[in-house]
A and B are shown apart, each in its own frame.
Chain A
């Protein structure tokens, strides 16, 4: 079967099973998306280096990623860290040129790109953001609650999705599947606003 019609996660599953063609296609697809993002975030002559660095980490680590996290979402966290390290390195370079002796925080040496995200502080920040979302938009809180509870129970994506929708529909009987996705999209937008604020991104109500 051709790999053209497969999603990235399906390609990843095949790659993990030893399919070299699927692995090549997976990294080719990731590279295109990485370039799309990196070219708007780093200097043009550094874009390729940043993308290659990120792909190298993904290539070495993708077999170890936690179950349930989609390959693209996980890979983008790697790219974020590489781009973050790129800016930190540039900042260090500037500080060095200015003869500032202050020792900068070194996050570039971390082996695991998810280490920072999964650290206690990161967990707490996400938990607080979700709690704030639930206080401000109780319905979003309920949807998130059912979603997370369903994810925790495990199973296929179909199982998780069906259980979540059923639980939400018990509270909102007239909600359709499409309506559920729209609601989830809105919840996510609210969470993003809260998250941006907590990360110090200027207000954009």
Chain B
């Protein structure tokens, strides 16, 4: 997504209301005048026109979906968390594992399969976000884009906590979400070489219902699992990404490489 190329962000805020037919005549005219000079807003209007048309033509059939509450997110989080629990092997099983290690040829070197590259980030200017969490996120991402991953991770973890607090007060409209801050914090930790510490924020972000966040988090969590010699967990995460339009091909390729 490109950075917005407009100086009139206040008018851009009317976009959603315009689409839904909520503006009075004066505001509607004002917004249409603005459209003449703002390619970004016209593109936005064009890209979501089918959704806006459907919503306004038959709002009743979509109202129930809009009132859905978070339900399965916590369950998914629980499942993902269980993947990282340390496993206590019974003595016999431990001995058998040791024997296998001694007798079998060297296992594939999972760390060699991991690929670590920075997750791209492009800043989008929005009017919302006048809160502590959003300000910290902006500061953390500035460090991140400069490649200062250590400091970026610390700031982004703090931002995630603040954003979580803001999310619950029912008033603030942060410019981003706690899970997005956790995602970039996890990636920063990975790139800073702190693989174990990266797992917790990535696990939390992997449970986000928003696919752009959860899929990115699962991909990087899979890399963390490979780096910490957890191919079983990595495999599960990669299988979950097999249908992803973004990560699907890479996930399948990596799974093939992991197959003995």
Contacts and interface: CB of A to CB of B under 8 A. Distances in A.
Interface of A: 5-10, 29, 32-33, 36-37, 40, 66, 68-70, 72-74, 76-77, 79-80, 114, 117-118, 122-123, 126-139, 141-142, 144-145, 147-149, 151-152, 157-158, 160-161, 164, 171-172, 174-175, 178-179, 181-198, 200-205
Contacts, number: 231
Contact of A135 (B18, B46, B70): B70
Contacts of B215: 203
Given A117-B54, A171-B170, A186-B128, A73 B68 contact: no
A32 B39 CA distance: 12
B255 interface: no
A145 B53 contact: no
B26 to A, nearest CB: 9
B22 A160 contact: yes
B17 A138 contact: no
Contacts of A128: 65
Interface in B1-56: 1, 12-25, 28-29, 32, 35-36, 39, 42-56
Given A69-B21, A126-B51, A195-B48, A136 B210 contact: yes
B70 A80 contact: no
A40 B46 CA distance: 12
Contact of B23 (A133, A147, A152, A157): A157
A33 B42 contact: yes
B99 interface: no
A8 B42 CA distance: 14
Given A7-B29, A32-B36, A131-B68, A37 B56 contact: no
Contacts of A132: 209-210
Contacts of B49: 73-74, 76-77, 80
Given A68-B56, A197-B211, 11 more contacts: A8-B28, A32-B36, A69-B52, A134-B68, A139-B173, A142-B67, A160-B22, A174-B171, A182-B173, A183-B173, A185-B15
A37 B42 contact: yes
B85 interface: no
B56 A172 contact: no
A157 B45 contact: no
Interface size class of B (residues with CB under 8 A): 35 or more
Contacts of A178: 13
A189 B51 CA distance: 13
B91 to A, nearest CB: 45
A79 B49 CA distance: 10
B213 interface: yes
B259 interface: no
Q: State the 5 A-B residue pairs at the shortest beta-carbon distance, nearest first.
A: A144-B66, A151-B59, A76-B49, A188-B16, A148-B59
A165 B126 CA distance: 21
A131 B15 contact: no
Contact of A123 (B19, B28, B54): B54
13 contacts: A37-B42, A68-B57, A69-B57, A80-B46, A127-B65, A130-B65, A133-B66, A134-B68, A145-B63, A186-B173, A188-B48, A190-B210, A205-B183
B61 A114 contact: no
A182 B13 contact: yes
Contacts of B36: 32-33
Nearest to B70: A135
Contacts of B19: 70, 73, 188
B208 interface: yes
B122 to A, nearest CB: 7
Contacts of B18: 70
B35 to A, nearest CB: 7
A35 to B, nearest CB: 11
B57 to A, nearest CB: 4
A10 B26 CA distance: 11
